[in-house]
């Protein structure tokens, strides 16, 4: 059973993630008006928002500690927040600042926080094998740490996922694959790309435990995840957990969504996991003022993180050549009086 503090913590994470993304959306669109130009504004590039996915991150990560590993896909913010990723430095990273988690090199799809063993990346199902590797490490080192790979329902047709299931199963590794089923992979509805409605059944083919949570509800997710993560931690092997979530936004900012029926958008808007969570909290005796207090605290924390991030310096161009083992331009042959942009060996 979910306790009072856990409920409060999960709600806090969910409203933090939701408000965080509302603020990111505002910042992202600034400078992209009136005409949307992906490379303009304080946050350039792609931005995949996870509004409607919060129950999954909160319900699963409630069972994790810092030493447990999480890999997430291109839609990472809610998971990162629930895993306890440094919010200030994550925000600075999204704004491309020097003090960001990756010094501005990664951006929102490539967030790494080794303090809490979190990483995400932009190639579909790419995080599955590394999660298996983290689980393998836990087994070899005899710790009771676990690993969790988050992925979308579109990603479960990818070889990297299916091969990971098999490897994890045959090695009996402490890893859980969490499928966030939001019904869509960009413009492709689930039924166009798989005949198996319940993605967790992919596990059965590997003789692995698989379970689906139909309700977009953090408490139900919490209970199912308790089972899956407990199984991994106790040395009883991997499992797959599929969670129904909803995509409240386009695939990425700027997605015209002309492929998506209006009713589907409306359904996703109506079926809000945060509203559902508030009902849960009330059932557990929380007062309106309690909820309001949690929300205010979350908003304040987000606003502070964004203010802090926007004050941070941009990286120096020279940083381009750091953090990689490479033939740097410093080693390129000297050419007479060539004024290249930087690191031409001038300061040596």
Partner 1 sequence: MAQAETPSASEIDRELTMSRAMVEAIAHEMREDEEVFVMGEDVADYGGIFDSTQGLLEEFGHDRIMDVPISETAFMGAGVGAAMQGMRPVCELMFADFFGVCMDQLYNNMAKTTYMSGGSVSVPMTLMTAVGGTYNDAAQHSQTLYGTFAHLPGMKVVVPSNAYDAKGLMHTAIRDNDPVVYMFHKRLMGLAWMPAPEGPKTGVPEERYEIPFGEADVKREGEDATIVTLGLHVHRALEAAEGLAEDGIDAEVIDLRTLVPLDTETVLESVRKTGRLIVVDEDYHSYGVSGELIARATEGALEDLEAVDRVTAPDTPIPYSRPLENEFQPSTDDIAAAVRSITQ
Cα atoms found within 13 Å of the Cα of residue 191, Cβ hemisphere only: 0
Residue number with CB closer to ligand TPP (72 or 309): 72
Report which DSSP code applies to 333: P
CA distance 325 to 78: 32
Q: Check if the beta carbon of residue 160 is closer than 8 Å to that of residue 167.
A: no
Choices 18-26, 75-83, 183-191, 277-285; region in contact with partner 1 by CB under 8 A: 183-191
Q: Does 52 bind Mg ion (CB under 5 A)?
A: no
52 binds, among Mg ion, partner 1, ligand TPP, none (CB under 5 to 8 A by kind): none
Residues 145-174 that bind Mg ion (CB under 5 A): 152-154
Residue 45, classified by CB atoms within 10 Å of its CB into exposed (0-12), middle (13-18) or buried (19+), is middle
Q: Is 24 in the site for ligand TPP (CB under 6 A)?
A: no
56 binds, among partner 1, ligand TPP, Mg ion, none (CB under 5 to 8 A by kind): none
Q: Is 231 exposed, middle or buried (0-12, 13-18, 19+ CB in 10 A)?
A: middle
Token duo for residue 184: 């869509």
Angle at 74 between CA 152 and CA 320, to 5 degrees: 160
Give the up-direction half-sphere exposure of residue 1: CA atoms within 13 A in the CB hemisphere: 3
316 in contact with partner 1 (CB under 8 A): yes
DSSP for 15-53? HHHHHHHHHHHHHHHTTS-SS--TT-SSS-S-----TT-
Question: Of partner 1, ligand TPP, Mg ion, none, which one does residue 37 interact with (CB within 5 to 8 Å by kind)?
Answer: partner 1
What does the per-residue mask of binding to ligand TPP show for 223-252, with x meaning CB under 6 A? Answer: ----------------------------x-
- Residue 154 binds ligand TPP, judged by CB under 6 A: yes
Catalog residues that contact partner 1 under the rule CB under 8 A. Answer: 35-39, 44-46, 96-97, 100, 102, 104-107, 109-110, 121-125, 154-155, 157-160, 185-188, 192-194, 254, 258-259, 314-321, 324, 326-329, 332, 335-342
Provide the binding-site residues for ligand TPP, judged by CB under 6 A.
74-75, 122-124, 151-155, 182, 184-186, 251
């Amino acid at each position: 059973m979910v306790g009072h503090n856990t409920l409060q913590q999960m709600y806090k994470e969910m409203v933090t993630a939701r408000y965080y993304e509302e603020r990111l959306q505002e910042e992202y669109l600034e400078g992209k008006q009136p005409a949307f130009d992906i490379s303009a504004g304080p946050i350039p590039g792609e931005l995949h928002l996870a509004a409607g996915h919060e129950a999954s991150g909160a319900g699963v990560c409630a069972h994790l500690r810092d030493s447990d590993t999480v890999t997430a896909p291109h839609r990472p913010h809610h998971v990162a927040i629930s895993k306890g990723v440094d919010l200030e430095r994550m925000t600075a990273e999204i704004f491309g600042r020097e003090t960001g988690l990756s010094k501005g090199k990664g951006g929102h799809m490539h967030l790494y926080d080794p303090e809490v063993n979190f990483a995400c990346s932009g190639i579909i199902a790419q995080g599955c094998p590394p999660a298996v590797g983290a689980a393998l490490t836990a087994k070899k080192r005899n710790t009771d740490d676990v690993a969790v790979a988050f992925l979308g329902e579109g990603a479960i047709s990818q070889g990297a996922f299916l091969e990971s299931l098999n490897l994890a199963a045959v090695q009996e590794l402490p890893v859980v694959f969490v499928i966030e089923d939001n019904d869509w992979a960009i413009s492709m509805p689930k039924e166009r790309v798989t005949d198996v409605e319940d993605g967790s059944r992919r596990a059965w083919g590997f003789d692995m435990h698989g379970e689906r949570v139909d309700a977009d509800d953090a408490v139900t997710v919490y209970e199912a995840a308790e089972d899956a993560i407990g199984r991994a931690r106790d040395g009883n092997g991997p499992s797959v957990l599929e969670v129904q979530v909803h995509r409240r936004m386009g695939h990425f900012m700027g997605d015209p969504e002309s492929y998506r029926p209006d009713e589907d958008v409306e359904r996703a808007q109506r079926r809000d996991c945060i509203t559902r969570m508030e009902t849960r909290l009330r059932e557990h005796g929380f007062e309106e003022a309690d909820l309001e207090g949690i929300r205010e605290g979350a908003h304040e924390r987000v606003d502070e993180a964004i203010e802090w991030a926007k004050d941070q310096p941009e990286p120096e161009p020279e940083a381009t050549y750091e953090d990689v083992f490479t033939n740097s331009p410093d080693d390129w042959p000297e050419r007479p009086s060539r004024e290249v942009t930087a690191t031409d060996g001038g300061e040596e």
